[in-house]
Amino acid sequence: MQTPYYLIDEKKILKNLEIIDQIKRISGAKVVLALKCFSTWSVFDLMRNYLDGTTSSSLYEARLGYEKFGKEVHAYSVAWAPHEISSLTGIADKIIFNSVSQLTQYYDEVKGHNLGLRVNPGMSYSHFDLADPARQYSRLGVVDTRQIMSVLDKLSGIMVHFNCENDDFDAFARTLDLLGEKYGDILTQLTWMSLGGGLFFTRDNYPIEKFGNALKGFSEQFDIQIYLEPGESVITRTGELVTRVLDIVHNERQIAIVDASIEAHMLDLLIYRLKAQIETQTGQHEYIIAGRSCLAGDVFGEYRFSAPLKVGDTIKIADAAGYTMVKKNWFNGLPMPSIVVRRLDGTMELVRTFDYNDFMNNLS
């Protein structure tokens, strides 16, 4: 198969989905897929059997969830444009506003629908300031509880997204208690609450029973339906970017150039200055694995191999499903990786290719 391509493994997705199903059974929570992380709809048929719908960050994502996934559609945006509201009312089960001002502005057009408001609790768990929803001066959600109370009669629920890659159950449990203390009077007057995404409950050895019971207890305490909005937890360790070595050059170090680009095809690694995960063996042969764009810093990382690399060798970059395909771009006019799915029965299906016309039509 022609490289580069993203390879998505349905058996690995199923493993994560079964964990999510266990959480749902214990807790009574509902789970919707965060399309901002993963929107590859060719595997939605599998996901639909386990998840309750999708959540979006834009009109286009909401429409994709409605057309390709079905089930519940949660439509959120940091700021809705006036021309988008009429389209939302026909496809969204829940319309979530980021501010009281936008809720008030559009209320006459959306009243009668299931409406929510994003709340900023002023506390969060994130390894990166760039992704911290409650960072200083954050524009994400309403901070003042008095503002929330002033529009409570217009709301059915609230969304509190305050985590990023939080794999610490104890930290989550403490924060959940604080949310109950801070918003208890509000929650008792609502029907649902979304705890957002960023909870890494599909990592190895995560205490699923404790997590599910904590959600169940919170839900029963306030008589409210809990939603989770995972992205990474659904597709972590389910995909890889398959590349091939095009050239090997030397500048004090051996540098292998592959037919993909961190700038164009795994942008999140560049943004957060993370090293790509490449399965290698401990060996004496050291290489810098670099992309083929003209960006000087287009580097996946430094690795050791058990044997010398040569032109034509395959390099597989792991954990390449989340925040990759949704962020891929046409920088340098590099060929866009195809999308391949390994189905549950083991067959490999080429579900999408990109060519010059896609590049040309991306602009005008």
Q: How far is CA 317 from CA 13, 68, 310, 352, in A?
A: 17, 28, 17, 19
**Among 84-98, 125-139, 306-320, 343-357, where is mean pLDDT lowest?**
125-139
Q: Which pLDDT band holds residue 3 (cuts at 50, 70, 90)? A: very high
Is residue 35 scored above 70 in pLDDT? yes
Amino acid at 315: I
Query: Each residue of 98-118: pLDDT tens digit?
Result: 999 999 999 999 999 999 999
Q: How confident is the prediction for the chain on average, in pLDDT?
A: 96
CATH 3.10.180.10 fits 10-235, yes or no: no
pLDDT of residue 33: 98
Give the CA distances from residue 183 to residues 21, 146, 225, 294, in Å, rounded to whole numbers and listed in that order.
28, 11, 15, 50
166: β partners: 199
Beta-bridged to residue 288, according to DSSP, are: 255, 302
Is the pLDDT score of 127 beyond 90? no
* Whole-number pLDDT of residue 101: 98
Angle at which helix 169-187 crosses helix 208-222, to 10 degrees, equals 10
For 14-28, the pLDDT digits (tens) are 999 999 999 999 999
Give DSSP secondary structure letters for 53-122: EEEESSHHHHHHIIIII-SEEEEE-SS--GGGHHHHTTT-SEEEESSHHHHHHHHHHHTTSEEEEEB--S
Amino acid 210: pLDDT: 97
Read off the pLDDT of residues 37-88 as tens digits, 9 standing for 90 and up. 999 999 999 999 999 999 999 999 999 999 999 999 999 999 999 999 999 9
- Please check whether residue 266 is in contact with residue 72, taking contact to mean a CB–CB distance below 8 angstroms: no
- Quote the CA–CA distance of 67 and 197 in Å, as a whole number: 22
Return d(Cα 142, Cα 165) in angstroms, integer.
Answer: 22
Domain map (residue ranges) of the chain:
10-235, 239-320+328-361
CB 109 within 8 A of CB 95: no
> Residue 333: pLDDT above 80?
yes
Structure tokens at 112: 């009668």
Q: In this predicted structure, what is the pLDDT of residue 283? A: 86
- Convert the pLDDT of each residue in 194-216 to its tens digit: 999 999 999 999 999 999 999 99
Q: Tell me the mean pLDDT in the region 8-16.
A: 98
pLDDT in tens, 227-236: 999 999 999 9
Phi and psi for 46 in degrees, rounded to 5? -70, -45
Tell the CATH superfamily of the 239-320+328-361 domain. Answer: Lyase, Ornithine Decarboxylase; Chain A, domain 1 (2.40.37.10)
Distance (Å) of CA 220 to CA 23, 125, 188, 213: 16, 25, 11, 10
Q: For the chain, give the percent of residues with pLDDT over 70.
A: 100
pLDDT-derived band at 281 (thresholds 50, 70, 90) equals low
d(CA 163, CA 257): 36
